[in-house]
Amino acid sequence: MNFDLLTQGEPLAFIFAFLIGLSMLLYAILDGYDLGVGMLSTIVDDADRDRMIASIGPFWDANETWLVLGVGLLLVAFPAAHGIVLTSLYFPVAIMLFGLIFRGVSFDFRRKVPLKRQAAWNRNFFIGSLVVALSQGYMVGRFMVGFKEGLFGQLFACFFGLLVVAGYLLMGACWLILKAEGPLQKRAVGWARIAIWAMVVGAILSSLTAPFVDTRIYDRMFSFPEITLLLAMPVISIMLTLFMHFILKKLPMENDRLAWMPLAISIAIFVLGFLGLVYSFYPYIIPGQLLIAEAAAAPESLKVILIGTAIVFPFLIGYTALAYWIFKGKASDLSYD
Amino acid sequence: MDAFLLSRLQFAANISFHILFPTITIALGWLLLFFKLRFARSRDPKWMELYFYFTKVFALTFSLGVVTGVTMSFQFGTNWPGYMNTVGNIAGPLLAYEVLTAFFLEATFLGVMLYGFRRVPGWFHTLATFLVAGGTTFSAFWIVALDSWMQTPAGYTMIDGVAHAESWWAIVMNPSMPYRITHTLLSSGLTVAFLAAGLLAYRQLKGDTRPAVKSGLSCCLVLAFVLAPLQAIVGDFHGTNTRDHQPAKLAAMEALWETTEGAPLTLFALPDEDARENHFEVGIPKLGSLIATRDLNGKILGLNEFEGLHPPVAPVFWSFRVMVGVGTLMIAVASIGTYFLARRGGQPKWFLKVLLRMTFSGWVATLAGWYVTEIGRQPWLVYGVLKTEDAVADLPPSHVGITLTAYLIIYLALGVAYVGSLFYLARKAMEEAPQQIPA
């Protein structure tokens, strides 16, 4: 491969590409667990639903902000790429936004409307979460194949949508294993066991479809010497999946031991998956169309943002950690009404 | 309809619906902090009752503001790629700073504020409330800075048709920024004063005699009494700023076709853009010049100086009159309320009904004001730099038509649900015992 592509151009462009990637990864992990909880909230009774939603109540809004940051940085640092992505995905973006709207307001409406309408808002909360997860997965799928049309292009994106839904369900279930107790925690273990294998199915289906769309991804993966390094990734993923399967069989343990473990494993799976995903199109900012180095905005503006980011980031991490510390432990008693 | 008009309508619908919620949360955050501090000083539980009640209003409003705001951030890319391609180097950092300094701050500490009351020490909870209020205000600062820059651009150079930053101080503190941010923050204060007064008046009318309701109502009326006249003065200065930097907008606000010395203050007119004249014009001689130029015979430039480059006249002219009309009404109502408060210590029933009708008066004035300034900026997207028609995405009209229709339906449903919930929460608060406060 052409290594010049990796390094030429403005270093700021690559720093911003990294920051965008980091925001998107954090978004997928963080909003992933609360969207997962949202999708799971439809199969429980009212009391459990309240507990589940209480466990994400203090966090969901900040989680969603990572998406705004990621898309915002893309807009700022790579305006041309932002334009191509969002106009190509006009309807999926709109559908995701409708989902985000309904889900976001349902947190409040479900408790702030007369009793007879609460069920409707609970349903909106579930549907909103599902629509967001599906549309995000579909969009990542479309993006990965460079928005190629055709049956397999669409099929790949749909399978990827299912993969993301399964991934978010896994995240949500693992979050609940950590934050819930008693019967709800036991059920969450069961949900996680289904979700992990659903994820495997989604991954296999999309991997099988990918070569019909575009051989570029496979050329990339199976050329020498990258393959030696890359082989490690699926091997670790498979090991993590098996380890997760094994751990879930043992949970919940006495004194709530290792309740954090499934969440840690699913985060590791997300990170690995994300790295693999990025590897398949780097150094492009839009697969097959636009290089990172070609698309960046003016350096003086990027510098200003970078300085701000460097100053704000430690605070941001600090108070986010503080919030998780304040709300550590089981989430059963969280409410404000 | 073409994609350009539909995209404009969609953006207008999105931003009009969005602004309804931040304009409440910006000032409501500070009002909550005020209640919290009053409680800390007096230990009177009524202040915490008010705090808890309006916290629910805040949370609901905030979530609507968040989701409609997320929508906005995607609109730039989906419908207006030309905007970022031309002025992205200026707009980008301002938007990024809003996310970095405001969004995360308010989102995180809102969680602490709502759910952390029993988990953190009292002072920390007060600090969280302060950070939420500060976050919303920061957010307003950055977005108004960007909007002001689009109205009165400064501190940049154009290289190959793309704006590049020269001085960030000049960009942020552009000529209209100090006026616009003050005007915006005061309008938020007034919107909240009348919203809270309306909800509390509703509770009193329904027979709620708690001290919290009465004290809360008094606070809101005094707040409105202070802010409403102040807003008129600030608005007046904002107008002279518009005269200096955007004369075409001022001419449209006054529907003044010919450049005039000693221009009248037009009270009523039907502007006719085809004939380029007004019908049924009623005005007070020379007062227009006095207000805009501080001189009875001062010169105001007319629309004909800007033919082809001025905004549509009637919407700007009428929005301005609606804003000023509601503002005047606010001054009157706040004065009467404060008079009753001083003389009788409470409000008569008929006046409570007036307050109830004024609940959403802040929304009307805020929207009308934004229409004056944003429609008044047309045909420019960035004044003198980029025309709106040159920034729009080349989308099939049907695409935009479908999403616009969907947005309108969703917004209508959410708007109805929101207003309904506000009054439902008011009734619910009357029936419930006040929340217990740990000592």
Residue of chain A minimizing CA distance to B88: A76
CA distance B250 to chain A (A): 33
Which stretch, A148-157, A312-321, B358-367, has highest mean pLDDT? B358-367
Smallest Cβ distance to B77: which of A86, A312, A320? Answer: A86
Average pLDDT over residues A199-226: 73
Answer yes or no: do B410 and A104 touch at CB < 8 A.
Answer: no
Smallest Cβ distance to A104: which of B63, B100, B395? Answer: B63
Task: Flag whether pLDDT at A333 surpasses 70.
Answer: no
CA distance B126 to chain A (A): 15
Smallest Cβ distance to B92: which of A112, A297, A337? Answer: A297
Task: Flag whether pLDDT at B293 surpasses 70.
Answer: yes
Using pLDDT thresholds of 50, 70 and 90, give the confidence band for residue B350.
Answer: very high
Task: Flag whether pLDDT at A282 surpasses 80.
Answer: no
Using pLDDT thresholds of 50, 70 and 90, give the confidence band for residue A303.
Answer: confident
| Domain range enclosing B60 | 18-252+308-431
Instruction: Indicate the number of domains in chain B.
Output: 1
pLDDT at residue B426, as a whole number: 92
Other Cβ atoms less than 10 A from the Cβ of B264: the count is 17
Collapsing DSSP to helix, strand or coil, A328 comes out as coil
Q: A22 pairs with which residues across the strands?
A: none
Using pLDDT thresholds of 50, 70 and 90, give the confidence band for residue A336.
Answer: low
CA distance A176 to chain B (A): 18
Other Cβ atoms less than 10 A from the Cβ of A222: the count is 12
Smallest Cβ distance to B99: which of A72, A94, A301? Answer: A72
CA distance A104 to chain B (A): 6
Contacts of A71 in chain B (CB under 8 A): 73-74, 77
Task: Flag whether pLDDT at A228 surpasses 70.
Answer: no
Contacts of A59 in chain B (CB under 8 A): 111
Decide: B294 and B319 in contact? Cβ < 8 Å: no
Task: Name every residue whose Cβ is closer than 8 Å to that of residue A115 and which is 6 or more positions away in sequence.
Answer: none
Two tokens, residue A75: 């807009």
Other Cβ atoms less than 10 A from the Cβ of A241: the count is 17
Mean per-residue pLDDT of chain B:
91
Query: Which ipTM was obtained for this model?
Result: 0.85
pLDDT at residue A331, as a whole number: 78
Closest CA to B140 of B90, B178, B102: B102
Smallest Cβ distance to B424: which of A54, A113, A336? Answer: A113
Residue of chain A minimizing CA distance to B425: A112
CA distance B309 to chain A (A): 28
**What are the tens digits of pLDDT across the range A148-203?**
888 888 888 899 899 999 999 999 999 999 999 889 999 999 999 999 999 889 88
Answer yes or no: do A68 and B103 touch at CB < 8 A.
Answer: yes
CA distance B232 to chain A (A): 35
Closest CA to B86 of B155, B152, B156, B177: B156
Residues B166 and B172: their CA atoms lie apart, in Å, by 11
Task: Flag whether pLDDT at A1 surpasses 50.
Answer: no
Residue of chain B minimizing CA distance to A295: B85
Answer yes or no: do B78 and A94 touch at CB < 8 A.
Answer: yes
Smallest Cβ distance to B70: which of A68, A113, A327? Answer: A68
Contacts of B93 in chain A (CB under 8 A): 76, 301, 304-305, 308
CA angle B130, A53, A198 (to 5 degrees): 130
pLDDT at residue B182, as a whole number: 96
pLDDT at residue A217, as a whole number: 63
Answer yes or no: do A336 and B105 touch at CB < 8 A.
Answer: no
Whether the CB of A87 is below 8 Å from some CB of chain B: the reply is yes
Task: Flag whether pLDDT at B351 surpasses 90.
Answer: yes
Answer yes or no: do B119 and A326 touch at CB < 8 A.
Answer: yes
- What Rg, from alpha-carbon coordinates, does chain B have? 23
Answer yes or no: do B162 and A298 touch at CB < 8 A.
Answer: yes
In a domain, B260, yes or no: no
Task: Flag whether pLDDT at A222 surpasses 80.
Answer: no
CA distance B89 to chain A (A): 5
**What are the tens digits of pLDDT across the range B90-123?**
988 898 889 888 989 999 999 999 888 888 898 9
CA distance B74 to chain A (A): 8
3-state helix, strand, coil in chain B (%, to 5): 75, 10, 20
Whether the CB of A325 is below 8 Å from some CB of chain B: the reply is no
Residues B177 and B195: their CA atoms lie apart, in Å, by 26
Please, which residues 30-59 of chain A have a Cβ atom closer than 8 Å to chain B? 54, 57-59
In a domain, B396, yes or no: yes
Answer yes or no: do A298 and B168 touch at CB < 8 A.
Answer: no
